Amino acid sequence: MANDFDKVSSSLGGAEADSARIDKLEAKVRHLSLISEALWIILRDKTGLTDEQLHKVIHAVEEHRKQRKDSKQNCHQCGMELPINKTKCIYCGAELDITNNVSPFDLHP
C-alpha cells in the first residue's frame, strides 16, 4: 500500500515538477520578450533606425541562421562530418577549432 502511494505521489511530483519548470520557462520568455522590446525602443529612439529597418535586420538574421544551420565541418582528428556549431567532436571527443565562421549564438559543446 505504501508503495502504491509512493508511486502515485512520485508520479504527481513529476507532473508538478514539469509544471513548475514550464512556469519558470514561461516567466523567462516573458522577461526576455520585455528586454527585447525595451532594446527595440532604445535602438529606434537612440539610433534613429526605423521599425522597418529593424524588421529587415531580424529577417536578415533569420536567413543567416537558416544558412548556418546546414553548415558542416570535419573533425581534424577522426575526419567525421559534424554540424558547424559543435565545439567538441561527438565521435572522438576532440576539441574543434571554432575560429571558422561560427556565430557565438550557434555554439554548442
CA distance 7 to 20: 20
Residue of the chain from 43, 49, 54, 94 that contacts Zn ion (CB under 5 A): 94
Nearest residue (CB) to Zn ion, 89 versus 102 = 89
First to last CA, the chain: 45
Nearest residue (CB) to Zn ion, 54 versus 82 = 82
Helix axes 51-69, 2-47, angle to 10 degrees: 130
Q: Does residue 87 touch Zn ion according to CB under 5 A?
A: no
Q: Does residue 49 touch Zn ion according to CB under 5 A?
A: no
Q: Considering the complex, what minimum distance in angstroms separates the CB of residue 83 from Zn ion? A: 13
Residue of the chain from 18, 74, 91, 103 that contacts Zn ion (CB under 5 A): 91
Q: Which of 93, 59, 96 is nearest to 74 (CA)?
A: 96
Residues 57-86 that bind Zn ion (CB under 5 A): 75, 77-78
Q: Which of 45, 69, 43, 72 is nearest to 57 (CA)?
A: 43
User: Which residues sit at the interface with Zn ion, rule CB under 5 A?
Assistant: 75, 77-78, 89, 91-92, 94
